[in-house]
Amino acid sequence: MHIPFDNSYAALPDAFYTKLAPTSVKAPKLLAFNEELAKSLGIEDTDEGTMTEIFSGNSLPQSADPLAQLYAGHQFGNYNPQLGDGRAILLGEVIDTNGIRRDIQLKGAGRTPYSRGGDGRAWLGPVLREYVVSEAMHALGIPTTRALAAVSTGEDILREQGMLPGAVLTRTASSHLRVGTFQVFAHRGQIEDLQTLTDYAIKRHYPQASGPMDLLRAVCAAQADLIARWMSVGFIHGVMNTDNCAIGGETIDYGPCAFMDDFHMGRVFSSIDQQGRYAYGNQPNMAMFNMAQLATALLPLFEDKDAALEEATAIIYAMPDQIEAAWLKRFAAKLGIAEPTPEDADLIQSLLDLMQTQGADFTNTFRALNTGKARDQFTDREAFDAWEKRHSARIMGLEGASELMDATNPALIPRNHRIEQMIQAATAGDMAPFEQMMQAYATPFADTSSDLTRPPTRDEIVPATFCGT
Ligand code: AMP
Ligand code: MG
């Protein structure tokens, strides 16, 4: 197998990482491989034997320069001065067919100096969850890391639930730079490294940015857009810590994430998120918190600290309006309105309020708006009828409204109960549900009669996701 590496992170100062190879595993087996993604990365000559060796970490591809990245981060609001890749190894980077530099990283590839007591491994469940959900997000048009391969290791690992089959995920990302990468150098007073990192991030992600303030502005814009996109498909990330907030604006780290079925602004899935810090409707606030941390980390780079603080504060304070505008754009499109006016916010909010009080399914309600069947999602149908009258009046004569609705309201999202069922099957050696989901979620906006559109029955509901990844 040939991977056309072109590594840049490995050329940064030693302070940025620890170079080390993955730890071998006993009996690797290739479970999934993303051929389309591999092609776009210029990966050639793929045979199963070599792929199994490389994607398990048992052998290193030529020109790989493996390393674990250093970073820190705020976890649930508390600063942790040292995190870093505790179980991930960056093999290197390639330039894809669109000219974009992509990291290729193994997750669950063994211990590193940043493992902090962890085993450096991942179990099959979260590996397949990330595989399915990140690829579904990509198909939904939402910026995300992607899944290139999944391998089972043939080794059992210990988690809260007991002994579980180990696995390694190979993922790609436009980079693994996080808010926490900036924080670690800022907090340690390594200003030269902070400057090097800033220059690197600008060059890699926002080449038009003129300096750190412009970088902050660009990352805030990317995060505002990302959060609005998440909300428009009912996605709850679940662990928006600053170490899981990518500078490039991609969704990263699919640990306790979930898509909601029946709509509620306060929905939380993560079992460790007792306070609802990362609840569906709190995601804009948390993005703003993360951007405030990035701003704080960048301040040491400025000579005139007072002026910089003032400017950065203005950028952060502009975020609510920025997210609101992005939210309005995304949700208005779901109603068939390409160019929303401020009054449309009330039309959207009224529908969401109805959905919340009546427990309507988020995905199926929006999808059905275009077929006249949305009222079936409500128990108080007259209340919905009244709303629909307003909606019909608003989109009357709007060209392309129907097409816009079909292109922005997916028929399929990876429902949590299906993911759990898929993981159970895979743990028992049956990959058929995984294959079926991968195929279905590749075209989420197509009309379908798939059973995967069905919300969970009372017995099927999976109310919590676990961080024991
Ligand atoms: P996450 O919640 O996956 O974003 O991880 C938070 C931090 O814990 C990161 O530094 C991870 O690398 C580390 N970590 C998570 N699981 C493990 C593990 N099994 N072994 C070592 N480090 C881990
Ligand atoms: Mg993480």
- Above 90 in pLDDT, residue 464? no
Tokens (6 digits) for 242: 């600053």
pLDDT at site 469: 80
Q: Which residues line ligand 1 (CB under 6 A)?
A: 83-87, 114-115, 118-121, 239, 243-244, 253, 255, 469
Cα 151 from Cα 27, distance rounded (Å): 10
Decide which of 465 and 346 is more confident.
346
Q: Which residues contact 96 (CB under 8 A, 6 or more apart)?
A: 40, 41, 42, 102
Cα 1 from Cα 45, distance rounded (Å): 5
Q: Which of 225, 243, 273, 406 is catalytic?
A: 243
Atom of ligand 1 nearest to the CA of 88: 12
| pLDDT tens, position by position, 363-392 | 999 999 999 999 999 999 999 999 999 999
- Above 80 in pLDDT, residue 468? no
pLDDT at site 463: 86
| pLDDT tens, position by position, 137-185 | 999 999 999 999 999 999 999 998 899 999 999 999 999 999 999 999 9
| pLDDT tens, position by position, 267-286 | 999 999 999 999 999 999 99
Respond yes or no: is residue 103 known to be catalytic: no
Is the CB of residue 85 less than 8 Å from the CB of residue 69?
A: yes
Ion ligand 2 neighbours (CB, 5 A) are: 244, 253
- Above 90 in pLDDT, residue 339? yes
- Above 90 in pLDDT, residue 295? yes
pLDDT-above-90 percentage for the chain: 97
Whole-number Å distance, alpha carbon 47 to ligand 1 midpoint, is 31
pLDDT-above-70 percentage for the chain: 100
336-372 as b/e: b if 16+ CB within 10 A: bbeebeeebbebbeebbebbbebebbbbbbbbbbbee
DSSP 99: S
pLDDT at site 161: 87
Q: Which residues contact 280 (CB under 8 A, 6 or more apart)?
A: 231, 234, 236, 260, 264, 265, 266, 267, 268
Mean pLDDT of the region 429-440: 98
Label residue 45 by pLDDT band (50, 70, 90).
confident
- Above 70 in pLDDT, residue 117? yes
**DSSP letters for 258-270:** EE-SB--TT---B
Ligand nearest to the CA of 173: 2
Whole-number Å distance, alpha carbon 23 to ligand 1 midpoint, is 16
Atom of ligand 1 nearest to the CA of 117: 21
Choose one of 243, 270, 272, 273 to mutate for the ligand 1 pocket test, by most ligand atoms within 8 angstroms of C-beta.
243
Pairing of strands 67-69, 162-173: unpaired
Q: pLDDT averaged over the chain?
A: 97
Whole-number Å distance, alpha carbon 390 to ligand 2 midpoint, is 44
Whole-number Å distance, alpha carbon 85 to ligand 1 midpoint, is 7
Question: What global pTM score does this model have?
Answer: 0.98
Is the CB of residue 305 less than 8 Å from the CB of residue 299?
A: yes
Cα 131 from Cα 170, distance rounded (Å): 9
Tell me how far CA of residue 291 lies from CA of 202, 331, 464, in angstroms: 16, 23, 28
Nearest CA to ligand 1 atom 12: 86
Mark out the alpha helices in 265-400 (DSSP H runs): 283-298, 305-317, 319-334, 344-358, 362-368, 381-395
Q: Classify 407 as helix, strand or coil.
A: helix
Mean pLDDT of the region 415-432: 97
383-399 as b/e: b if 16+ CB within 10 A: bbeebbeebeebbeeee
Side-chain half-sphere exposure of 261, counting CA atoms within 13 A: 17
Consecutive H or E run containing 304: none
pLDDT at site 467: 65
pLDDT at site 211: 98
Whole-number Å distance, alpha carbon 239 to ligand 2 midpoint, is 8
Q: Which residues contact 211 (CB under 8 A, 6 or more apart)?
A: 198, 202
